[in-house]
Amino acid sequence: MVKYRIDIRGVMVPNDYKWYYNLFREDCTCPRDVQNVIDAAVDGDEIEVYINSPGGVIDVGSEIYTLLHRFKNVKIYITGEACSAASIVAMAGYCEMSPTALMMVHCVSSGVRGNHSDMEHMAETLRTADRALCTAYTAKTGMSEEEALEMMEYETWLTAQQAKEKGLVDAVMFEEKKEDVPLVAGPLFELPNEEKLNRARKLLKEETSEAVPTDLLKAEWDFLMLKRGDRK
C-alpha cells in the first residue's frame, strides 16, 4: 500500500487560474492538483488530505469533493480552517479536525446587475445552489435538508468539538479514545481490559507445546475469570 498526500491550501480555484496564484506565490488548490494524485493511486492505496483553506469557487469545491468521495480509502484532516467550499471537501470521507481548527458553513453568494427580474432570478439560482451543496452535509451527518440550510443561512462557525457533535467530522485530532466500561451487577466483578487481553493472547501465541504450563493457566484464569470477593 502506498500513502499519498493532498494539501488543500489557500483558495480553491479553477484549473486555468492556478498560474496566476503561482505567479505571485500565493497558496491555492485546483481540481487538477487532486486529480493528479488520484491518477497515481491504485486500489488499496491510501490518500491523506490536509485542509487549511478559506474556501473558493463552489463548483471547484464540488468537483474536488466528488473526486475524493469516489476514491475509497481517503482520510481527511482539518489542520487550520475549512470554510465555505472547503467545508464541502471535508465531507468527502473520514475526517478528523484539529482542536484548534475552525469550520465555517454558509450560503452561496454572488453579484448581479440588472432589473428586478434579474435579481429574482439570481436569488432563485443561489437558493438552488444552496440546496445542491447542502446534500454534502446531509449525507455526512444524517441531518435534514432544513437543518443543513438553517446552519448555512446563519454563517455558522464551529469548533472541532461542535463539528464532531453535529457529525460534520468523525473525531477531534489528538483525543485519547476512552475504553468502554461495561455495566456490571456485582461490586467486585471486573472484565479484563484490552491490555490484559493482549497479554493473554501473546502468552497463548507463544505457547507451542501441547502441555499448557501451570503459570499460563493461572495467568489466563487471572485475566478472564469473574472476580469474586472470596477469590482463591
Delineate the domains of the chain, giving CATH numbers in brackets: 3-172 (3.90.226.10), 178-232 (no CATH)
By residue count, the chain amounts to 232
Write down the catalytic residue from 53, 62, 84, 87.
Answer: 84
Q: Which three cell numbers stand for residue 162?
A: 461542535
Q: Is the model's pTM score more than 0.85?
A: no
* Pair 86, 61: CB distance under 8 Å: yes
Q: Using the predicted structure, report yes or no on whether residue 232 has a pLDDT greater than 50.
A: no
Instruction: pLDDT band for 226, please (50, 70, 90 cuts).
Output: very low
Asked about 62 being catalytic, the answer comes back as no
Q: pLDDT value at position 230? A: 47
Write down the catalytic residue from 69, 106, 109, 209.
Answer: 106
- What confidence tens digit (pLDDT) does each residue in 10-55 have? 999 999 999 999 999 999 999 999 999 999 999 899 999 999 999 9
List 78's β-bridge partners, or say none. Answer: 51, 97
Asked about 106 being catalytic, the answer comes back as yes
